[in-house]
């Protein structure tokens, strides 16, 4: 229990893009499919961001959580879960970790003593700022691959895809 407390440094997938293999492998119909290419692109992007955030000693998975709390101070854990598309029980260890490391404060409200109000501490604001730097660098790298001409259109397509049933 409370597994989220242990912070490991080597969740990486260093071996991910090893030597591309002797003989090229046939991808068959996969090669032209959006679903497949979407997954590959997302994995590459996540991997690159992980690397950057690990350089500053942060966990890429915490970034979205810190951002959402910073952007919506006083948000409850359940609301946060909804926004991130995760069950509230999944957030308990994440927040335990962030609180223990002094980045997030949980405070009870008077009106409804069941819920917590989540806010960033000063250290949390700082950590988020560092992660934002990483994210900006990361976005610049992605933009370079996308090309300035295609960016807006690409982003619009991604938004439409995220909304499919």
Partner DNA sequence: TATTGTTATACTCTATAACTATA
Partner DNA sequence: TATAGTTATAGAGTATAACAATA
Q: Which does 90 bind (CB under 5 to 8 A by kind): its own copies, DNA, none?
A: DNA
155 binds its own copies (CB under 8 A): yes
Dihedral of the alpha carbons of 69, 75, 78, 79, in degrees to the nearest 10: -90
CB of 105 to DNA, least distance (A): 12
Contacts with its own copies, 25-64, as mask; x by CB under 8 A: xxxxxx-xxxxxxxxxxxxxxx-xx--------------x
Question: Which one of DNA, its own copies, none interacts with residue 30, CB within 5 to 8 A by kind?
Answer: its own copies
Is residue 77 within 8 A of residue 88, CB to CB? The reply is yes
Q: Report residue 104: phi and psi, to 5°.
A: -130, 145
Find where tokens 């890429």 sit.
60
User: How many angstroms separate the CA atoms of 112 and 42, rounded?
Assistant: 40
Binding part of the chain for DNA, among 66-74, 79-87, 122-130, 148-156 by CB under 7 A, reads: 79-87
User: Does position 100 bind DNA by CB under 7 A?
Assistant: no
Q: Does 101 bind DNA (CB under 7 A)?
A: no
Query: Tokens 């807006």 map to which residue?
Result: 152
């Amino acid at each position: 229990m409370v597994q989220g407390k242990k912070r490991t440094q080597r969740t990486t997938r260093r071996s991910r893009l090893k030597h591309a293999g002797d003989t090229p492998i046939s991808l068959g119909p996969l090669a032209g499919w959006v679903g497949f290419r979407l997954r590959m692109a997302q994995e590459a992007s996540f991997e690159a961001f992980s690397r950057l955030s690990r350089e500053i000693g942060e966990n890429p998975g915490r970034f979205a959580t810190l951002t959402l709390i910073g952007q919506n101070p006083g948000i409850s854990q359940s609301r946060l879960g909804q926004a991130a598309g995760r069950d509230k029980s999944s957030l308990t260890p994440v927040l335990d970790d962030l609180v223990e490391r002094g980045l997030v404060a949980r405070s009870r409200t008077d009106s409804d003593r069941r819920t917590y109000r989540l806010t960033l501490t000063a250290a949390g604001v700082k950590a988020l700022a560092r992660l934002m730097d990483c994210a900006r660098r990361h976005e610049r790298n992605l933009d370079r691959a996308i090309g300035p001409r295609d960016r807006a259109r690409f982003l619009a397509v991604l938004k439409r895809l995220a909304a499919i049933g």
